Amino acid sequence: MATATPERITVGNETLKEAREAGKEDLQNSSLVLRHADGSEQVFPAHLQEVLINTLKALAGSGEVSIGKMPDELTTTVAADAIGVSRPTLMKWAQEGKIDSYKVGSHSRFRHDDVLALKKQRVQAQRDAFTELRTLDAELDEMFED
């Protein structure tokens, strides 16, 4: 069985600059279109657009991005890393029912869809909390300006 060597793509400063400029736009309701040499256009499927837009955002932010396929079944360590929490925290959440898990022998495993859903939920909760904090800050500024 042959193993594929991952493709490594290095981007230059000009590409990063262009990514940062494009990243300033609100890309939420945008669609990406591939224009072929003959002038015909092909709209990318929604999931592929999400990958490409998130790649652009990552380049615009840190200048680095890593893309890879996530297996259907994740170990506790991989799942915790993907969510951005410690392994003990993930196991606590599994015991509390915050995320589904199942056993393979004596080892806990997580479905990648469940892990990605929890990660997305946490990101949204962080955004909501930040928005609430900014609103509170603006209200406090108004109170003290009077």
CATH 1.10.1660.10 fits 73-145, yes or no: yes
Q: What is the pLDDT of residues 71-116, one digit of tens each?
A: 999 999 999 999 999 999 999 999 999 999 999 999 999 999 999 9
Q: Could you tell me the pTM of the whole model?
A: 0.59
Domain spans in the chain, listed from the N-terminal domain onward: 13-61, 73-145
Q: What is the pLDDT of residues 110-136, one digit of tens each?
A: 999 999 999 999 999 999 999 999 999
pLDDT at 4 exceeding the cut of 80 = no
pLDDT at 140 exceeding the cut of 60 = yes
Residue 33 φ then ψ, to 5°: -125, 135
pLDDT of 19 reads 81
Instruction: Report d(CA 114, CA 70) in Å as an integer.
Output: 12
